[in-house]
Amino acid sequence: MWLTERHAVGGPGTFLLGKAEELSETLLREYRGKVRLIYLDPPFRTGESFSMKIGKGKNAVPVRLYEDTLSDAEYVAWMRKILSLCHELLDSRGSLYLHLDYRMSARMRLVLDEIFGAEHFMNEIIWTYKSGGRSKRYFPRKHDTILFYRKSKNVYFKIEAVGMPRGAERRNHMKRFIDEDGRVGFSIRSNGKLYKYYEDSLIYPSDVWNDIEHLQQKDRERTGYATQKPEALLRRIIGASSAEGDLVMDLFSGSGTTAAVAAKMKRRFVVSDSSPVAAYILRKRLLAISGSPDLFRSDSAGLELHLSRETLPCEASYSVGRKGGERVVMVTGASIGSSAAPIVYAATGTLENSVFEAAHTNCAPRFPLRLPFPEGSGPALLLTDAEGRTAAVPLHD
């Protein structure tokens, strides 16, 4: 069974739970030829299994995220399906960024040449960083590769949107000057020609990105997701290859960075992931960014999640009463199925025809939990446990 969960804030965007290749019919029906930018950060074919802990301290629960154990041949066949899907989803000015490392980048370059055409290759971007191990068996591996392809020659690309002011640093023995308009600049004469640069003129990034660091363990952006990428990386990609209002897509949502940055930059987004934990992380991250809907805010945009609704028994102990004149639900405990996984998300709203309209949410619930009783028909309590399973409980007085 499927459940659609809607929020008044957190978007404008949609999350789809499922494997990209299995969602192809849905994606093509809704978005064929409509996507301006696709960023993909798939498994790197490491041979490892990835997990994370949800919760804090003694209450933290380890949960599985995904298995990265395909053989080379299986990986290539799998990614060929997904990249072919992406080519159909992009509009005529669209582009694709495929984020990989040394393991599969060479093979995927050939697959992309096959699907997009070698003439539509834009860049092999090297994202270099300092974090990680320091092997002595080989030169330390300190970069990822991002393959950048366009759908057509008419691609949307605005490098000036991601330029940085040159600043006050003096370069190459240049002389500092102030022109008649008060602008500060630097000049140098070479081979009889005078070159001038201003402090406020832009420097554009090259195809080697050494100015964006990996997230540190205590970084405020951290969600706990093992392979999370920094927002600065996605700001550059989204800024250069889309405009406000454009549709951005990520079929390996993971930690939700693409959606979070797209929302902040006023792009629409569609993201998907095979792990229900990714839906939990995304919901928590985007609702925290957006805050509560405000009657005086005209820029509020909704978030919609298409989730697998568990048919397992869901038990919730609650009572309905009043607090300060407001009708409230007091939840003293809840569980989904026979699992001991704690509840990590709770919301009250209305449920009708498998559509849950969220009214009040708590992304870090602790019992006893008090939430406002929702107005409207079909009042319900929506719960998610640490393993990402979601279930709804109808509310009664």
Coil, strand, or helix at residue 78? helix
Same domain assignment for residues 115 and 57: yes
Percent of the chain with pLDDT over 90: 71
Same domain assignment for residues 29 and 95: yes
**Tokens 């420097």 identify what position?**
203
Spatial separation of the C-alpha atoms in residues 250 and 105, rounded to whole Å: 18
Of 220, 242, 273, the residue at which a domain comes to its end is 273
- pLDDT tens by residue, 44-101: 999 999 999 887 777 788 888 999 999 999 999 999 999 999 999 999 999 999 999 9
In a domain, 42, yes or no: yes
**Can you give the pTM of this predicted structure?**
0.91
Task: Note whether 122 and 95 are within 8 A (CB).
Answer: yes
Checking if the pLDDT of 221 tops 90, the result is yes
Same domain assignment for residues 87 and 112: yes
Task: Note whether 53 and 224 are within 8 A (CB).
Answer: yes
In a domain, 68, yes or no: yes
Checking if the pLDDT of 293 tops 90, the result is no
Euclidean distance between the first and the last CA atom of the chain, given in angstroms as a whole number: 27
Same domain assignment for residues 135 and 67: yes
Strand 143-150 with 90-100, pairing: antiparallel
Of 145, 174, 196, the residue at which a domain comes to its end is 196
Spatial separation of the C-alpha atoms in residues 159 and 388, rounded to whole Å: 39
CATH of the domain at 367: 2.60.40
CATH of the domain at 45: 3.40.50.150
In a domain, 290, yes or no: no
Identify the burial level of 70 via C-beta atoms within 10 angstroms of its C-beta, where 0-12 means exposed, 13-18 middle and 19 or more buried.
middle
Q: What's the mean per-residue pLDDT of the chain? A: 91
Same domain assignment for residues 110 and 178: no
Same domain assignment for residues 57 and 77: yes
Calculate the alpha carbon distances from 277 to 56, 240, 256, 313, 389 in Å.
Answer: 16, 30, 11, 20, 8
In a domain, 351, yes or no: yes
Domain of 343 in residue numbering reads as 314-394
Of 143, 172, 196, the residue at which a domain comes to its end is 196
- pLDDT tens by residue, 139-196: 989 999 999 999 999 999 999 999 988 766 666 678 888 888 888 888 888 888 877 7
Within 8 A by CB and 6+ apart from 217, the residues are: none
- Which structure tokens are listed for 47? 């041979």
Same domain assignment for residues 29 and 147: yes
Task: Note whether 238 and 269 are within 8 A (CB).
Answer: no
Spatial separation of the C-alpha atoms in residues 3 and 354, rounded to whole Å: 5
Same domain assignment for residues 42 and 79: yes
Within 8 A by CB and 6+ apart from 189, the residues are: 195
In a domain, 264, yes or no: yes
- Which structure tokens are listed for 310? 């568990």
Checking if the pLDDT of 295 tops 50, the result is no
- Which structure tokens are listed for 264? 């902040």
For the segment 206-217, the average pLDDT, to the nearest whole number, is 93
Higher pLDDT, 300 or 367: 367
Same domain assignment for residues 106 and 138: yes
In a domain, 95, yes or no: yes
- pLDDT score at 185: 83
In a domain, 138, yes or no: yes
Within 8 A by CB and 6+ apart from 27, the residues are: 16, 20, 85, 89, 270, 272
Same domain assignment for residues 110 and 254: yes
For the segment 369-380, the average pLDDT, to the nearest whole number, is 95
Total domains, the chain: 3
Spatial separation of the C-alpha atoms in residues 246 and 35, rounded to whole Å: 8
Which one-letter DSSP state was computed for residue 230?
P
Within 8 A by CB and 6+ apart from 397, the residues are: 320
Spatial separation of the C-alpha atoms in residues 232 and 164, rounded to whole Å: 13
Same domain assignment for residues 33 and 140: yes
For the segment 343-370, the average pLDDT, to the nearest whole number, is 94
For the segment 341-355, the average pLDDT, to the nearest whole number, is 94
Same domain assignment for residues 36 and 92: yes
In a domain, 341, yes or no: yes
Residues pairing with 95 in the sheet: 37, 150
